[in-house]
Structure 1
Amino acid sequence: MDVLVFSTSVKGQKQVSKVGTLLTKIPAIAQWSFDLEDCDNILRIVASGVSPKYVETLLQKAGIQCQELTY
């Protein structure tokens, strides 16, 4: 399992739910969470075989800015 970390434009619970609906449809994603108290509105994903670019594109198509953070 890989941990992917992204900076997002998600601001509130409505957008968290919107993203959650997209992410839960992907069987390779085991877990996801947001930290909206962080200045980058962090999205963390635990998954197998999911590329960061795929997540970025998926969220951007839904109107959410998303960029992988390297750590």
Structure 2
Amino acid sequence: MKNVLVFRTSVNTSRAAHLLRPVLDGLMGHGETWNFDLEDCDRILRVEATTLQATTVIRHLKRAGFWCEELED
């Protein structure tokens, strides 16, 4: 079963999102997906994955120079 993880980020351009593609794709398994909603004021990153942990996503975005925080239910 897939989990949906939602994050508030500092990714504010499609260029920045494109630069993160290899980072995020590298975290995804078969059939897992991610996308940004850059029009939302929180610059939302939505991840659908089975085993990926929020802390892993946050760590990788921070290493790439972006701020990232999980949004709780």
Shorter chain as denominator, the TM-score bin is over 0.9
Extract unaligned runs of 5+ from structure 1. Answer: none
Contact map agreement 2:27 2:52 (CA 8 A) in 1: no
Alpha-carbon distance in 2 for matches of 1:27, 1:58: 12
Identity of matched residues, %: 38
Q: Any gaps of 5 or more consecutive residues in structure 2?
A: none
TM (norm. structure 2) is 0.90
Q: Deviations over 1:11-35 (max 9, x none)?
A: 1011101222211112437111111
TM-score for both structures, normalised by structure 1:
0.92
Structure 1 runs, 4 residues or longer, greater than 3 Å off: none
How much is the aligned-residue C-alpha RMSD, in angstroms?
Answer: 1.2
After superposition, residues 43-62 of structure 1 pair within 5 angstroms as 43-62=45-64
